[in-house]
Amino acid sequence: MNWALAGLVYACAYVAIILALGEREYARLLVGTVALLIPPIAPIIVMLSRRGDWRGRQAVFWAAIGAWPMLWLIGQIGWSVDEVFRAVPLPWFKWHIILQLCGSALPLIALVAWPHGGTQDETAVTAAVDIAVLVFLTGFLYWSLIIAPGMDPPHSAAALRALATIGPTVRLAALSGLLWAMWKAEGSPWAVVYQRLALGMALAFVVLVGLSLATVAGQYQTGSPSDIGWMLPFWFAAWAMAAAPASAHEAQGPIGTAPIERSSLAVLFAAILAVPVIGYGSRYLVPAAEPIERMREIATAGTLVCGVALVMVRLVVERRSLESASQRVRLLATACEQAGELIMVLRQNRIQYANDAFCQATGYSREELLELPPMTLVAAESKPDIPALREQLRKRHVVRATTVMARKDGSRFEAAWSAAPIVDAAGRVTDVVSVIRDVTDDARLRQQLVRSERLSAIGELVSGVAHEINNPLQSVIGTVELLLGESHETRVRDDLERARFEAGRAGRIIRNLLAFVRRSPAERLLSDLNEIVQSTLSVREYELAQSNIKLQQEYGLNLPVVLANRDEIQQVVLNLVMNAQYAMVDAHGRGTLTVRTFTVADQAAVEVQDDGPGVAPELAGRIFEPFFTTKSIGTGTGLGLALAFGIVNAHGGTLELVPTDRGACFRLTLPGAGFPGPVQVH
């Protein structure tokens, strides 16, 4: 429902009826009395219908706006009783005027809640106390400046002039405050709310200026067309309430900051200081009879005491709110410190906070990070992407991306991160909270999964092809054997020998392929991985020395015993050693081969590392595929690593290419059998 349009129609109808009544003063009094009681009901109806839509400071704001028509309605009922039933014409200086004047000031006082800044549940009680204190002090000022002198007939004219001045001035102040709030809330739905409230106050100010002049001139009476100045703001308030956004759930604030609070302590202290100044100085501004002056002095002292007491209550409430916020901050800080994710808070392009996980992952201390430009943590290849992401944050969007980050030692790691901007009450991005996850292991596991799936598919294909080829191949070999048993010319016999050799070679390849795809375990015994590696290296030690390869052996202590087929594991280690030897000799004719064993959790592992040219990143995902080789044509079949991978996989272990700064490093891991190994290895 368009309450503003309804209010304008209501005001026009009221003016038309009043003009039609002409000089019939009592009829105009009755119509005006009834007409003034209806508009305050409109915002009360809207507020009651939407009372569950708001919470926190926004609920406090609308409660204050709703108290305005309620106070004004109660005051108007008191006015009507005096004027209609008690025949007291224009009872300006009665108790009900204080209620109406305090209600008229509430649209300005309600801005203390600053609702467009968010619900801020932690400080809602503080805002409510602030508003209550300001309303209480406003009531005293009205009583001291208007009601008290108006009770003394000789000074009632001056009091009436003060009332005629203060009434429009309060509306003008409320209009100015609402326009300022509308400017601060620009771009948010609350700007529309303030705009509608301000329109009502503007109309009221214009009309009430004329009403005040008529009052001072003694020409005003209830039932005048200028009464619409009291009516219109209520309809526009109902219009604003109907369009007000409901309170949204707000995330907790950034670590290390308290909830945003627009403090009104300065306003409260200024208002309390104004109490003695106006209370004791009013005898000179608007003097009254001595009994009234004594009453005013007592009221001043009592108001000052009550005001100070209310401010003390407010401080206690604020302290408890801050203690609660501090406790929440401590809990959040503890949770961040214990989190495995990397958490960082940026402010004005400087690091304000980083948890322990972030420090450990980057290699910087917290003190170093506070002085470090954030772009230092971004690897060169990812820096061109940062400006676009930063622009998204300026637009208050949550950003998710994957970036290569740089550690203090120069190494890099791939990080998936999300960043959320923290916005203040004015809509400015003050902080950025970023949660980062090192996805290096995830990427490696993903590559292993893809490789495993690919090798599984290749294995199924190879198995079928090998069996299909093996049957006719055996027929070929058998036929060649029979032919060789007969006497032939030398040239024919040489051809048959060559055919038998090539067929045998093809048979060996097929057997290797079947070994690659085999999943059923051969005979396995409890074995010491250190002893297997030692015996394998002793076989190749002479050849390595002849190839100018320096062998370094590092054996771990207390390796768990593994359940393995000794010959097969020796074959795997031997294949890794021979591949490393070939890579180093082919690259620079010499090198260093490092073989080390160690324990990983409950598994035994061996690494074979060379200082050769290494494996190109684009080829790392294919090195375990059958028939794929990095050797020159004619020097390798491409089955060595594929066969080794199949053997290790059948043992329930893993064989992987490990990233290293130089050369290539292969790691073989076998599950432990649950028994400790020998303590010392020579």
Looking at residue 257, its pLDDT comes to: 37
The alpha carbons of the chain give a radius of gyration, in whole angstroms, of 45
Is there a single domain that holds both residue 96 and residue 173? Answer: yes
Expressed as residue numbers, the domain containing 58 is 3-245+261-327
Three-class SS of residue 541? helix
The β-bridge relationship of strands 429-438 and 412-423 is: antiparallel
**What type of residue sits at position 342?**
L
Residue 461 forms part of a structural domain: yes
Kindly indicate the confidence band of residue 192, based on its pLDDT and cuts at 50, 70 and 90: very high
Q: What is the pLDDT of residues 588-616, one digit of tens each?
A: 889 999 999 999 888 999 999 999 888 87
Number of structural domains found in the chain: 4
Confirm whether pTM is higher than 0.85. Answer: no
Residue 504 forms part of a structural domain: yes
Choose one of 517, 538, 570: the last residue of a domain: 517
DSSP state of 378: B
CA torsion sign for 401, 387, 370, 263 is: negative
Classify burial at 309, counting beta carbons within 10 Å of its beta carbon; exposed 0-12, middle 13-18, buried 19 or more: exposed
Rounded CA-CA distance 420/435 in Å is 9
Residue 332 forms part of a structural domain: no
Q: What is the pLDDT of residues 452-502, one digit of tens each?
A: 666 566 666 666 777 677 778 778 878 878 877 776 677 777 787 888 777
Kindly compute the dihedral angle of the four CA atoms of residues 455, 459, 461, 463, in this order, to the nearest 10 degrees: 170
Classify burial at 16, counting beta carbons within 10 Å of its beta carbon; exposed 0-12, middle 13-18, buried 19 or more: exposed
CATH of the domain at 455: 1.10.287.130
Residue 378 forms part of a structural domain: yes
**What type of residue sits at position 182?**
M
pLDDT, mean of residues 340-360: 84
Residue 345 forms part of a structural domain: yes
pLDDT, mean of residues 574-589: 88
Is there a single domain that holds both residue 150 and residue 285? Answer: yes
CA distances from 670 to 308, 553, 559, 606 (A): 77, 19, 11, 9
- Strands of the sheet containing 429-438, edge to edge, are 350-354, 342-347, 429-438, 412-423, 399-406
Which segment, 265-269, 455-459, 481-485, 674-678, is predicted with the most confidence on average?
Answer: 481-485
Choose one of 417, 438, 459: the last residue of a domain: 438
Q: Do residues 80 and 273 make contact, with C-beta atoms less than 8 angstroms apart?
A: no
Is there a single domain that holds both residue 92 and residue 236? Answer: yes
Q: What is the mean pLDDT of the chain?
A: 82
CATH of the domain at 576: 3.30.565.10
Residue 255 forms part of a structural domain: no
CA torsion sign for 605, 608, 613, 616 is: negative
Q: Backbone phi, then psi, for 117, in 5-degree steps?
A: -80, -5
Residue keyed to tokens 């392929």: 513
Rounded CA-CA distance 614/643 in Å is 20
Choose one of 438, 464, 495: the last residue of a domain: 438
Residue 278 forms part of a structural domain: yes
Per-residue pLDDT for 5 more than 70?
yes
